[in-house]
Amino acid sequence: MPLAHAILAFLEYHPMSGYDLKKIFDASVSHFWSATQSHIYKALDELQKNDWVKLTVVPQDGKPSRKEYALTEAGRLELHQWLIAPLPLHPVRQDWLIQLFFSAGSSNEQIANILQARITEMHQRQEIYRTVAKTAINEYAQKAQNDRTRQLWQMTLDYGIDSYDFELAWLEKKLKSVQNLPPSPLPERQ
């Protein structure tokens, strides 16, 4: 349950609403883990059923009441047990690699377009990681007033950037190889 455990970890900093959790997911870990608002609320319901979080309704002047979730002691224990347990290696799932795998009936130009689109998107994401994500990490770490936290968060950002560097080098190399593919045995797709 990585999403549930990520929520527990964020709530360890301080109580938050589902909306707050979505904002912090987007600002801090989106370079390696994404979560939709509906998934966050579904996970919060499960966490509440397990007594790992406690819901408090906070009245607000002129606004709807705010639902705030806080970590319970049972939730803190679950989080700490999960944080120290080795996790299994999960299979890689890359939609674009399925496209590439089954592209024998596509032209070399069509295949090159798939790779080029991926290269373009990865450059854009890297720019976000180097600017927006870096700024967010520093901002949230400053709030936490903990350099250890900032350094660990930076490691995850470095992993994202480094993995994109590797994939970009691979894509550039394979983009050149696409032009030398043998003719397709299948009728070419339009």
Q: How many domains does the chain have?
A: 2
- Residues 116 and 139 both lie in one domain: yes
- Residues 106 and 133 both lie in one domain: yes
- Residues 167 and 134 both lie in one domain: yes
- Residue finishing a domain among 59, 84, 109: 84
- Residues 6 and 66 both lie in one domain: yes
Residue 72, SS3 per DSSP: coil
Tokens 């949230």 sit on residue: 140
Tokens 């596509």 sit on residue: 106
- Residue finishing a domain among 84, 110, 135: 84
Residues 6+ apart with CB under 8 A from 144: 13, 150
Tell me: the pLDDT tens digits for 106-127?
Answer: 999 999 999 999 999 999 988 8
Nearest CA to 25 among 45, 10, 46, 44? 10
Whole-structure pTM value:
0.77
Q: Are 7 and 20 in contact (CB under 8 A)?
A: no
> In which domain, by residue range, is 71 found?
2-84
Q: Taking the CA atoms of 43, 49, 52 and 56 in sequence, report the sign of the dihedral they define.
A: positive
For residue 169, the cross-strand partners are none
- Residues 153 and 123 both lie in one domain: yes
Give the CATH number for residue 62: 1.10.10.10
Q: Which of 20-29, 101-110, 130-139, 179-188 has the lowest mean pLDDT?
A: 130-139
Question: Which two structure tokens, joined as six digits, stand for 126?
Answer: 């890297």
Q: What is the mean pLDDT of the chain?
A: 90
- Residues 80 and 110 both lie in one domain: no
- Residues 151 and 76 both lie in one domain: no
CA dist 92 and 41 (Å) reads: 26
- Let me know how many helices (H) and strands (E) the chain has, helices first: 8, 2
Q: Are 52 and 8 in contact (CB under 8 A)?
A: yes
DSSP character for 106? S
Q: Are 97 and 128 in contact (CB under 8 A)?
A: no
- Residues 100 and 77 both lie in one domain: no
Tell me: the pLDDT tens digits for 31-76?
Answer: 788 899 999 999 999 999 999 999 999 999 999 999 999 999 999 9
Q: Are 84 and 93 in contact (CB under 8 A)?
A: no
Q: Residue 28: which pLDDT band, with cuts at 50, 70 and 90? A: confident
